[in-house]
Amino acid sequence: MIDSIIKNKLTETKLITAQNRRKEIRKYLDYYSGTSTDQYIKNFFQGDAFSEIPPSLTNFTRKFINKISRIYTLGAKRTTGSTTDVYNSLIPTKDVRMKHSERMTRLVGTIANRIYWENDKFEYRPIYYFESYFGDNPFKPEAIIYPLLNQTADLSNTLGLQWAYWDASTYAILDDGGKVLKEVENPLGILPFVFTHREDQIDSFFVEGAGDIINCNEQVNIGLTEMNLGLRFNMFGQPWVKGLRADQEMMRAGSNTILDMGEDGQYNVTSPSGNIAEAINNIKFQIELVASNNHLWIQWAESGGEVPSGISLMIKDLERKEDYFDDIAMWRLYERDFYEVEKAIANYNGISLSEDFGVDFEEVEYPTTVQDQILKDQFDLEQNLITRAKMMVRDNKDLTIDQAQGIIDANRQTNESESSQSIFAQFRDEAGQNQ
């Protein structure tokens, strides 16, 4: 199967993926990390522009992506029936990896999450550049090819690349020409990958990434650089003279200086005509527009005012809340896909996991006043909706339930002891006074 796929598909990978999709993904990753983004705006300026000023490289891509990726903000609780404790001991890094995977899925559009066994634990690796081979189902890959090594900074040049190939029965490493360097059996019988998508697929396996955020970030960097160039040359008025003799030295103008311009001579200062406030408002508008399209809201530093209450945040977040529930439903399916792969890997390593699987995502709570929180906690305790130990863990994530309960019990004993001592001391004092 490898020969037929590699010889035809690898050429397509080199010509299309390596040149187009890889460039696009690289650009998205650069903007997310804030790395070398000046290369994307240099073509919009003359060659010597950046010798006058440094380019303006603001980065709100990371902030926007992180804000709209909130499924794993507080992690997730997973249960697997009788094997829950065993399973949770095998996934110490999963919440961290899944949070990153969600963010990268939001950014890139579609990523392949490889699941593997390392040091008797599950580990996870996101793969951004890959091509898939499909059989009868165009939305379920039967094989995957992705680069292992890139020896050149030129993404259009795939010479020197090594490629990893996976299908349900085979794992192989190939060179750029499709020659198999290594081939071994895939003992799992399935692809050890889960493909996550930014949104539901429509007519293609791959889903578009956060192009609106990236393009806006790029446009803002261009606008800020243009504005700073304008300030560099036009912040102050430009003096000019007419009628100055060639042999006459121009004196510095001042209130105590008289300039002799000769007959018909003129001296003037050209004032800058650019409107900086208008440029800033245009930049703000662009950012606010893309933020609104992603159900985010922005409060500029100069706006002032009070910090929004929990109620006002909930009102602002209604549209995003609907998307959030849709995302939970989608990522719950992805969690199940992850578990199926994990189960196969565990079985290969001599560990049997239950067929049962459930996941509960911790929902982000909105800020409340101290008094409102006290009243809510009292109500939850009275209605047995929560325990004191769980309240402590909620406020201190470093504690376990058992540790929190131990602290509560110790505090209770101490408080009761202090209360008893106080009563005895009171009796003693009263007895002494009566004598």
For residue 106, give the nearest of 2, 174, 31 by alpha carbon.
31
Inform me whether the pLDDT recorded for 32 exceeds 90: yes
Q: Residue 236 — pLDDT band, cuts 50, 70, 90?
A: low
**Distance, CA of 394 to CA of 314 (rounded, Å):** 20
The arithmetic mean of pLDDT across residues 20-24, rounded, is: 84
Inform me whether the pLDDT recorded for 174 exceeds 70: yes
Q: What is the pLDDT of residue 376?
A: 79
In terms of pLDDT, which residue wins out, 17 or 339?
339
Take residue 368 and report the two structure tokens written for it: 């409340």
Q: What percent of the chain has pLDDT over 70?
A: 73
Inform me whether the pLDDT recorded for 127 exceeds 80: yes
In contact, 55 and 225? CB cutoff 8 Å:
yes
What are the residues whose beta carbons fall under 8 Å from the beta carbon of 108, sequence distance 6 or more? 25, 28, 29, 128, 198, 209
pLDDT digits (tens, 9 = 90+) for 176-208: 777 889 999 999 999 999 999 999 888 889 999
pLDDT digits (tens, 9 = 90+) for 317-368: 666 677 788 889 999 999 999 999 999 999 999 999 999 999 998 776 655 6
**Distance, CA of 335 to CA of 78 (rounded, Å):** 9
Q: Give how far the C-alpha of residue 328 lies from the chain's centroid of Cα atoms, to the nearest Å.
A: 17
Residue type, 276: I
In contact, 76 and 88? CB cutoff 8 Å:
no
What are the residues whose beta carbons fall under 8 Å from the beta carbon of 414, sequence distance 6 or more? none
Inform me whether the pLDDT recorded for 432 exceeds 90: no
Q: How many residues does the chain have?
A: 435
Q: How far is CA 101 from CA 24, 65, 406, in A?
A: 18, 12, 36
Helix orientation angle between 94-108 and 61-68, rounded to the nearest 10 degrees: 120
Inform me whether the pLDDT recorded for 244 exceeds 70: no
Q: What is the pLDDT of residue 66?
A: 94
In contact, 106 and 65? CB cutoff 8 Å:
yes
What are the residues whose beta carbons fall under 8 Å from the beta carbon of 79, sequence distance 6 or more? 356, 357, 358, 359, 360
- Which DSSP helix (H) or strand (E) runs through 361? strand 358-361
Q: Residue 292 — pLDDT band, cuts 50, 70, 90?
A: confident
Q: How far is CA 182 from CA 40, 117, 249, in A?
A: 38, 20, 79
Q: Residue 394 — pLDDT band, cuts 50, 70, 90?
A: confident
Q: How far is CA 189 from CA 5, 139, 317, 351, in A?
A: 19, 19, 44, 16
Take residue 351 and report the two structure tokens written for it: 């560990």
Q: What is the mean pLDDT of the chain?
A: 82
pLDDT digits (tens, 9 = 90+) for 201-223: 888 899 999 999 999 999 999 98
In terms of pLDDT, which residue wins out, 296 or 231?
296
pLDDT digits (tens, 9 = 90+) for 374-383: 887 888 888 8
Helix orientation angle between 22-33 and 61-68, rounded to the nearest 10 degrees: 90
Inform me whether the pLDDT recorded for 239 exceeds 80: no
In contact, 388 and 408? CB cutoff 8 Å:
yes
Q: What is the pLDDT of residue 364?
A: 66
Q: Residue 237 — pLDDT band, cuts 50, 70, 90?
A: low
Q: How far is CA 416 from CA 362, 378, 409, 420, in A?
A: 35, 21, 11, 6
Q: What is the pLDDT of residue 349?
A: 96
What are the residues whose beta carbons fall under 8 Å from the beta carbon of 212, sequence distance 6 or more? 290, 293, 294
pLDDT digits (tens, 9 = 90+) for 129-160: 898 888 889 899 999 999 886 555 555 555 56
